[in-house]
Structure 1
Amino acid sequence: MFDLSGRTALVTGAGQNAGAGIARALAAQGAAVAVNDLVAERAEATAGEITATGGTAVPAPFDVTDLDGVREGVAQARTRLGRHLDILVHNAGIAADFGQGQFSSLDPSRWRAPVEINLFGAMNCVSAVLDDMCQAGWGRIVQISSGSARTGSAHGLSLYGAAKSGVEGFIRHISQEAAPLGVTANTLALGLQTNAAGDSTADIAAHIPTRRLGTPEDVGAAVVYLASPEASWMTGQTLNLNGGSVTY
């Protein structure tokens, strides 16, 4: 079950944290993984970790907000892995300027970056892989999102939440266009992860029903299901992975 042998995957933002966990999990199930990150050294480190444990991975450093760069990176990954990409996991979502702050005090020059990496980044990556998936009659698109897309917050997340809301809508429409051609598209909305908690980990975890934060392994396991043959009837959905902190 959940065997991905013979499949190839691109995971964006996979040089660290949840993205690295996703790349490791896909590789452990047999997929060959193109490890993307904006920082080449991080992509190389994750790819090296996978190959050191017997998996297949290649680094694929590029900027997901640069359409030409995405197309070139995908082309190179196809060449290095020997076939087209079957699985896309768009995990990259934190811009250098996260855009955090009360909206009324944010300079308009800061509005664009969260949207560029989340929404346009997803559009760029989907555009680069979708035709191959449709022609092959099989593909999996998994978008990593956040509870911030559908739950308001007073903690200065309006730009990030708006960007995530936008990309969730995009994925729902892609799911309908691609479903007749054997391609599924789903979103995984994450609750707070261990890498984002800072010094308040214990206090935050105490308010989550499972009494802990999410880990890269949690995220990787959920993505493996969505990327698997067994998930062929799951498309157009947003699944919440948050320890029960929000239920709907």
Structure 2
Amino acid sequence: MFELSGHAALVTGAGQNAGAGIARALAAQGAAVAVNDLVAERAEAVAKEIVAAGGRAVPVPFDVTDREAVVTAVSKVKSEFGAHVDVLVHNAGIAADFGQGHFRTLDPSRWRGPVEINLFGAMNCVSAVVDDMCEAGWGRIVQISSGAARVGSDQGLSLYGAAKSGVEGFIRHLSQELAPSGVTANTLALGLQSNVAGAATEMFAKKIPLRRLGTPEDVGAAVVYLASVEASWLTGQILNLNGGSVTS
């Protein structure tokens, strides 16, 4: 069950935290994994870790907001693996300028970053791989999102939340367009993760019904399911992975 041998995955933002957990989990189930990160050293480190554990992986550092770089990288992955990417996990979502702060205090020059990486980054990646998926009659697109897309907050997340809301809408409509071709598209909305440190984080963690933060392993396990053959009748959905902090 959840066997991914013979499949090729591209995971963006996979050089650390949840992205690294996703890459490791997919590789452990047999997928060949292209490990993307904006920082080459991070992508290389995760790819080496996967290979050392007996998996198959290559680092592919690029900026998801650069369409030409995305297309070039996808072509490289196809050549390296001898197969097209049929599992795309768009996890990259934190711009260099996160855009955190109450909206009225933010200069308009800061508005674009979160939207570029979350929405246009997803579009760039999907566009680069989707034709091969449709022609093959099988594919999995998994978008990593956040509870901030649908739950308001006073923590200065309006730009980030708006960007995530936008990409959730994109995936929802995309799923309907691709379904007849055997390609599924789903969103995994994460709650608070263990890589976010600080006293405020600890306070919020105590309010999570399961009384702990999410881990890279939690996220990796959920993505493995969404990428699997067993999830073939699941598309167009937003799954909340948050320890029960928000239910739907």
TM-score relative to the length of structure 2: 0.99
Instruction: Tell me, yes or no, if the aligned pair for 1:137 and 1:182 is still in contact at 8 Å.
Output: yes
Query: Partners in 2 of 1:198 and 1:8 — Cα distance?
Result: 37
Amino acid at match of 1:122: A
Cα distance between partner residues in 2 of 1:199 and 1:54? 38
Range with greater deviation from structure 2 (142-151 or 77-86) = 77-86
User: Aligned pair 1:14/2:31, yes or no?
Assistant: no
Gapped regions of structure 1 (runs ≥ 5): none
Three-state SS of the structure 2 residue aligned to 1:194 is coil
* Unaligned residue ranges in structure 2 (runs of 5+): none
Aligned Cα RMSD in Å?
0.7
Structure 2 counterpart of 1:242, one-letter code: N
SS in structure 2 opposite 1:155? Answer: coil
Corresponding residue SS for 1:42: helix
The equivalences for 1:207-246 within 5 A come to 207-246=207-246
Per-residue CA distance 1:52-103 (angstroms, 9 max, x = gap): 0000000010000000010001111111111100100000000000000000
- Give the residue type in structure 1 aligned to 2:3: D
Q: CA deviation at 1:243?
A: 0.2
Q: Secondary structure at the match of 1:195?
A: coil
Query: 1:200, CA displacement in angstroms?
Result: 3.9
- CA gap of 1:161–1:201, structure 2 versus 1, over 3 A, is closer
* Aligned positions of 1:80-91 closer than 5 A: 80-91=80-91
Residues 197 and 204, structure 1, Cα contact 8 Å, conserved in 2: no
Q: Provide the rounded CA distance (Å) in 1 between the counterparts of 2:97 and 2:144.
A: 19
- For 1:187, the equivalent position in structure 2 comes to 187
User: Identity over aligned residues, as a percent?
Assistant: 79
Please give the residue correspondences for 1:91-102 in structure 2 after superposition, counting only pairs within 5 Å: 91-102=91-102
Measured after TM superposition, the shift of residue 196 of structure 1 is 1.4
Aligned residues: 248
CA distance in 2, matches of 1:111, 1:198: 26
1:156 alignment partner AA: G
Partner in structure 2 of residue 157 of structure 1: 157
CA drift at 1:22: 0.1
For the 8 Å contact 1:91–1:144, the answer to whether it is kept is yes
Q: Indicate the residue corresponding to 1:170 in structure 2.
A: 170
Q: CA deviation at 1:201?
A: 4.2
Q: What SS is found at the alignment partner of 2:184?
A: strand
Contact 1:144 1:190 in 2 (8 A): yes
Structure 2 residue aligned with 1:116: 116
User: What residue number does 1:144 align with?
Assistant: 144
Give 1:184's aligned amino acid. T
The one-letter code of the counterpart of 1:145 is: S
Residues 1:28 and 2:45 aligned together: no
Q: Could you report, residue by residue, the CA deviation over 1:38-62 in whole angstroms, capped at 9, with x for unpaired residues?
A: 0000000000000000000000100
- Structure 1 residues 161 and 205 mapped into 2: Cα distance closer, same or farther (>3 Å)? same
TM-score for both structures, normalised by structure 1? 0.99
Structure 2 vs 1, CA of residues 201 and 160 (structure 1 numbering), >3 Å: closer, same or farther?
closer
| Map 1:67-82 → 2, pairs under 5 A | 67-82=67-82
> Residues of 2 paired with 1:158 and 1:202: CA distance?
22
**Alpha-carbon distance in structure 2 between the residues aligned to 1:82 and 1:62:** 20
Q: In the alignment, what sits opposite 2:2?
A: 2
3-state SS, counterpart of residue 117 of structure 1: helix
